[in-house]
Structure 1
Amino acid sequence: MRHAKAEQVGPTDHQRALTPRGLEDAAAAGRWLAAEGIVAQAALVSAATRTRETWGALSDAAGWSLEAAFDEGLYAAGPETALDLVRAVADDTGVLVLLGHNPTMAYLAQMLDDGDGDPEALAAMAASGYPTSALSVFEVDAPWADLGVATARLTAFHVGRGA
């Protein structure tokens, strides 16, 4: 998932906070995940303010009490580094939320897709430009350590937008 809409400026880029719209969009994404029956078992979240705030609104709206792992490295990670972080997740983790920044999240979603998933989700993801609050849901049939290019099936794509 890409973080929700953030302020254009902050004391530093790392400290940019979500806008009111961003908070509502993240909550809308959480409500969508709950409606889809998706329950996170682990979360790897960039340590930036906007991703922390996205996680808070998302997880609250989804009804999750899960503690996220906030990772400083995910803030500036490229897609290969983000993939390495996912590969280090415990094999007994069934559902993982990865929450970070663009262009990394968009590139990673494209890299992981094996082309055999939901055609409507794939078309929506490709056409979207991966805006703020975009999330891609994948099925993975291998241990996290074996995750690589074209090893996951896209099952859903959604952009959280509040009322």
Structure 2
Amino acid sequence: MKTLTLLRHAKSSWDDPVGRDFDRPLNARGRRAAVTVGRHLRGQGVSFDYLIASPAVRVVETLDGFASGYGPLPDVVEDRRIYLASAATLLEVVQGLPASVERVLMVGHNPGLEDLVLALVPDGTEGLRDAVEEKYPTASVAEMRFDASDWAAVRPGGATLTRFVRPRDLDPALGPDAVGT
């Protein structure tokens, strides 16, 4: 059984004058959300034995905050293919993961992460999939399980969505209508 957890980077700052989208940092609410989500997953007993992430600044800062709430994480494997990737590219990254790892945390961007969940989880499964389809907000986490012994066997429609957590589910002040963020 393989478990893939997708973490969308936390809320970034559009006010910070950076030359490239790649260099955009988190804003204050994003930093709080990353810590909150990390703390929540630690409290739920979620664990990872492999971590792969986009090298974008907002992802690096999300992981810093996440680790502050979660605790020690596996060493980060940065993969530039994850930066603003399509679901098809992300699926190729997943299929190329080492067969020896069981619980992977992938940190990246939308719309690729949301599209990947919707491709991997069969249509017609209600509840969590509907929530992902509605919106996959920043700092949200989707956890999927696969009845596979090797990541190369992961195919569209082959996942069970076991968890979808948005920051606002944990703290309403981290939601879209929060004041002073």
- TM-score, length basis structure 2: 0.82
Contact residue 40 and residue 64 of structure 1 kept, 8 A: no
Contact residue 116 and residue 154 of structure 1 kept, 8 A: no
Q: Superposed, which structure 2 residues align to 1:65-144 within 5 Å? A: 65-114=73-122, 119-127=126-134, 129-142=135-148, 143-144=150-151
| Alignment correspondent of 1:60 | 68
| Aligned-residue RMSD, C-alpha | 1.7
| Alignment correspondent of 2:3 | none
Deviates more, 1:44-53 or 1:70-79: 70-79
Whichever residue aligns with residue 77 of structure 2, its letter is A
| Alignment correspondent of 1:17 | 25
Contact residue 84 and residue 110 of structure 2 kept, 8 A: no
Cα shift at 1:75: 0.7
Contact residue 55 and residue 79 of structure 2 kept, 8 A: yes
Contact residue 118 and residue 129 of structure 2 kept, 8 A: no
* d(CA) in 2 for partners of 1:114, 1:62: 30
Distance of aligned partners of 1:66 and 1:116 in 2 relative to their CA distance in 1, 3 Å threshold = farther
* d(CA) in 1 for partners of 2:166, 2:37: 7
User: 1:52-102 CA distances to partner (integer Å, 9 max, x unpaired)?
Assistant: 111121123111232111111211321111111111111121110111111
What SS class does the counterpart of residue 69 from structure 1 fall into?
Answer: strand
* d(CA) in 1 for partners of 2:164, 2:89: 23
Deviates more, 1:53-62 or 1:94-103: 53-62
Contact residue 9 and residue 138 of structure 2 kept, 8 A: yes
Distance of aligned partners of 1:155 and 1:88 in 2 relative to their CA distance in 1, 3 Å threshold = same
| Alignment correspondent of 2:179 | none
Contact residue 87 and residue 145 of structure 1 kept, 8 A: yes
Aligned mate of 1:153, from 160, 168, 174: 160
User: 1:120-152 CA distances to partner (integer Å, 9 max, x unpaired)?
Assistant: 32232233x111111111111112111110111
Contact residue 39 and residue 64 of structure 1 kept, 8 A: no
Cα shift at 1:23: 0.7
Percent of pairs with identical residues:
29
Contact residue 115 and residue 153 of structure 1 kept, 8 A: no
* d(CA) in 2 for partners of 1:55, 1:89: 20
Deviates more, 1:60-69 or 1:22-31: 60-69
- TM-score, length basis structure 1: 0.91
| Alignment correspondent of 2:8 | 2
